[in-house]
Structure 1
Amino acid sequence: MARKFIKRFMPDHEKIRHHKGLKIFGTLLHDANLWHLNRRSASGAFAVGLFYAFVPVPFQMLLAAATAIPLRVNLPLAVGLVWVSNPITMPPLFYLCYLVGSAVLQQPPSHFQFELSWAWLGESISTIGPAFLLGCAIFGTVSSLVGYFGIRWLWRYSVVRAWRKRHNSTRI
């Protein structure tokens, strides 16, 4: 069940293999283990993808791919899960990261007005940057662990349930 559910949302591996941004990996993308879907590869892909979803850089998909390849986890799933933080969800997620980082650093959240400029970015790195980056690290790590263990549990649960269902159907 978990395998079928996850497979419905996975992008086509040929489409990802020929993505222009992933051409830097060359023949490494031809490893069959990157495209298989099993409990190990799915849980590892969730961990990688969810971690990089909270890394505040514009090339999250490349980082996820660069990590998924040596770990030999499902590449399409890892790259696709980065889109948890998309242009719609990014502002509230990153603001929540900033609030959590401020709470951990025990500093009150400062009021700021977002501007799309290099001057604002440079100024903000010193004021809100440490709390924001700490919050992103916390959220990335926690979501990665929850995703990893959650998928392992869900996969095992669905396999056990299928076994029981098959066992009960043969008893009749």
Structure 2
Amino acid sequence: MAKKTIQRFLPDHNKIKQLKSLRIFGRLLHDANLWHLNRRSARGAFSVGLFFAFIPVPFQMILAAAVAIPLRVNLPLSIALVWITNPLTMPPIFYCSYVVGTWILGHPQQEFYFEPSWQWLSDSLTSIGPAFLLGSAVCGSLAALIGFILVDYLWCRGVKKAWESRK
């Protein structure tokens, strides 16, 4: 059940191999384990993808691929899960990361207004940056752990139901 559900949403592996941004990995992309979907590769891919979805860098897909390849987890799933943070979901997710970071550091939340400029970015790295980056790392780690546990549980439950239905 879980495998069929996940496979329905996965992009075609030939399309992923053609991505220009992933060409830096060359022949590493030809490892069959990166494209195979089983319990181990799915839960690992969820962990990798969800962790990097919370990391505020513009090249999240490349980082997810760079970690998924040596861990030999499902590459398409890792890359697809990074897109949980998209232009619509980034503001609330990153704001929650900032709030978590201020809570952990014990700092009061600061009011800030976003401006798309290098000056604002450099100024905000010293004021809200530490709390935001810490919160992003913590939220990413929690999301990775929850994703790992949830996929493992759902996968086992699906296998048990399949075995019971065969009896």
TM-score bracket relative to the smaller structure: over 0.9
Counterparts of 2:41 and 2:103, CA distance in 1: 35
Map Cα deviations across residues 34-78 of structure 1 (whole Å, 9 max, x no partner): 000000000000000000001100000000000000000000000
Residue 79 of structure 1: how far off its partner (Å): 0.4
2:158 is equivalent to residue 158 of structure 1? yes
- 1:148 is matched with which residue? 148
Residue identity in the other structure for 1:127: S
- 1:63 is matched with which residue? 63
Residue 106 of structure 1: how far off its partner (Å): 1.0
- 2:91 is matched with which residue? 91
Alignment partner of 1:120: what SS? helix
- Unaligned regions of 5+ residues in structure 1, if any? 168-172
The sequence identity of aligned pairs, in percent, is 61
- Unaligned regions of 5+ residues in structure 2, if any? none
Residue 21 of structure 1: how far off its partner (Å): 0.6
Residue identity in the other structure for 1:22: L
Residue identity in the other structure for 1:57: V
Q: Root-mean-square deviation (CA), in Å?
A: 0.5
Map Cα deviations across residues 3-50 of structure 1 (whole Å, 9 max, x no partner): 000000000000001111100000100000000000000000000000
Counterparts of 1:114 and 1:58, CA distance in 2: 17
- 1:6 is matched with which residue? 6
Tell me the TM-score normalised to structure 2 length.
0.99
Residue 104 of structure 1: how far off its partner (Å): 1.1
Map Cα deviations across residues 80-131 of structure 1 (whole Å, 9 max, x no partner): 0000101110011000100111111111100011111111111100100011
Counterparts of 1:161 and 1:15, CA distance in 2: 33
Matches within 5 A, 1:79-158: 79-158=79-158
Map Cα deviations across residues 106-157 of structure 1 (whole Å, 9 max, x no partner): 1110001111111111110010001101110111000000001110110000
Counterparts of 1:75 and 1:36, CA distance in 2: 9
Counterparts of 2:100 and 2:65, CA distance in 1: 28
Alignment partner of 2:102: what SS? helix
Greater Rg by CA: 1
- 1:72 is matched with which residue? 72
| Count of residue pairs the alignment pairs up | 167
Counterparts of 1:78 and 1:4, CA distance in 2: 17
Tell me the TM-score normalised to structure 1 length.
0.96
